[in-house]
Amino acid sequence: MTNLLELKDVTKSFGRVYSLRKVNMTVRPGEVLGLLGDNGAGKSTLIKVLAGVHQPSAGDILWDGVKTTLDTPRVAMSRGISVVYQDLGIIPLLSIWRNFFLGREEEVSRKLPFHWLLRTSHMRSVARQALTKLGIHIDDVDLTVAKLSGGERQSIAIARAVHFQSKLLILDEPTAALSLKETAKVLSYVRAASEQGVAVVLITHNIAHAFEVCDRFTVLFHGAVAETTEKEGVTEQELANLINTGTRMQHRIAV
Ligand SMILES: Nc1ncnc2c1ncn2[C@@H]1O[C@H](COP(=O)(O)OP(=O)(O)O)[C@@H](O)[C@H]1O
Ligand SMILES: [Mg+2]
- pLDDT tens for the chain, 255 residues long, are 789 999 999 999 999 999 999 999 999 999 999 999 999 999 999 999 999 999 999 999 999 999 999 999 889 989 999 988 766 667 888 899 998 888 777 777 777 777 777 788 889 999 999 999 888 888 899 999 888 888 888 888 889 888 888 999 999 888 887 888 888 888 999 999 999 999 999 998 889 989 999 999 999 999 999 999 999 999 999 999 999 999 998 876 555
Q: What is the pLDDT of residue 255?
A: 58
Ligand 2 centre distance from Cα of residue 80 (Å): 22
pTM of the model: 0.89
> Domain extents for the chain?
5-90+165-245
Nearest CA to ligand 1 atom 8: 45
**Ligand 1 neighbourhood includes 14 CB (under 6 angstroms):** yes
Domain range 5-90+165-245, its CATH number among 3.40.50.300, 3.30.360.10, 3.30.390.10, 3.30.70.1380? 3.40.50.300
What does the pLDDT look like over 215-228, one tens digit per residue?
999 999 999 999 99
Ligand of minimum distance to the alpha carbon of 172: 2
Ligand 2 centre distance from Cα of residue 10 (Å): 17
Q: What is the pLDDT of residue 90?
A: 73
What does the pLDDT look like over 177-199, one tens digit per residue?
788 888 888 899 999 999 999 99
Ligand of minimum distance to the alpha carbon of 222: 1
Ligand 1 centre distance from Cα of residue 229 (Å): 24
Nearest CA to ligand 1 atom 27: 40
**Ligand 1 neighbourhood includes 40 CB (under 6 angstroms):** yes
Ligand 1 centre distance from Cα of residue 17 (Å): 8
Q: What is the pLDDT of residue 89?
A: 66
Nearest CA to ligand 1 atom 12: 19
Q: What is the pLDDT of residue 252?
A: 61
**Ligand 1 neighbourhood includes 12 CB (under 6 angstroms):** no
Nearest CA to ligand 1 atom 24: 40
Ligand 1 centre distance from Cα of residue 40 (Å): 6
Query: Are the CB atoms for 20 and 46 separated by under 8 Å?
Result: yes
Q: What is the pLDDT of residue 25?
A: 98
